[in-house]
Amino acid sequence: AQSVAQPEDQVNVAEGNPLTVKCTYSVSGNPYLFWYVQYPNRGLQFLLKYITGDNLVKGSYGFEAEFNKSQTSFHLKKPSALVSDSALYFCAVRDDDYKLSFGAGTTVTVRA
Amino acid sequence: EPEVTQTPSHQVTQMGQEVILRCVPISNHLYFYWYRQILGQKVEFLVSFYNNEISEKSEIFDDQFSVERPDGSNFTLKIRSTKLEDSAMYFCASSATGVGYGYTFGSGTRLTVV
Q: Give residue-wise pLDDT tens across range B58-95.
A: 999 999 999 999 887 899 999 999 999 999 999 999 98
- CA B53/CA A56 separation, integer angstroms: 38
What is the pLDDT, as a whole number, of residue A106? 96
Phi then psi for residue B73, to 5 deg, are: -125, -35
Averaged pLDDT, B38-45: 88
At A21-77, the pLDDT tens digits run 999 999 888 889 999 999 887 778 889 999 888 899 999 999 999 999 999 999 999
What is the pLDDT, as a whole number, of residue B62? 94
| A51 touching B (Cβ < 8 Å) | yes
All residues at 6 or more sequence positions from B22 whose CB lies less than 8 Å from its CB, including other chains: B6, B7, B8, B74, B75, B76
Sign of the CA dihedral A68, B41, A11, A107? positive
Of the listed ranges A84-93, B46-55, B97-106, the least confidently predicted one is B97-106
| A5 touching B (Cβ < 8 Å) | no
Contact A101 B45 (CB under 8 A): yes
Is a pLDDT exceeding 70 seen at residue A78?
Answer: yes
- Across the A:B interface, residue pairs with CB atoms under 8 Å apart total 57
What is the pLDDT, as a whole number, of residue B8? 95
Is a pLDDT exceeding 80 seen at residue B2?
Answer: no
Contact A105 B42 (CB under 8 A): yes
Query: Which of the four pLDDT bands, split at 50, 70 and 90, describes residue B101?
Result: low
Q: What is the 3-state secondary structure (H, E, C) of chain B?
A: CCCCEEECCEEEECCCCCEEEEEECCCCCCEEEEEEECCCCCEEEEEEEECCEEEEECCCCCCCEEEECCCCCCEEEEECCCCHHHCEEEEEEEECCCCCCCCEECCCEEEEEC
Residues B26/B94, Cβ–Cβ less than 8 Å: yes
Averaged pLDDT, B5-28: 95
Is a pLDDT exceeding 70 seen at residue B100?
Answer: no
CA B81 to chain centre: 16
CB atoms within 10 A of CB A10: 9
| A32 touching B (Cβ < 8 Å) | yes
| A64 touching B (Cβ < 8 Å) | no
Chain A neighbors of B34, CB-CB under 8 A = none
What is the pLDDT, as a whole number, of residue A97? 72
What is the pLDDT, as a whole number, of residue B73? 86
Q: Nearest C-alpha of chain A: how many angstroms from B101? A: 8
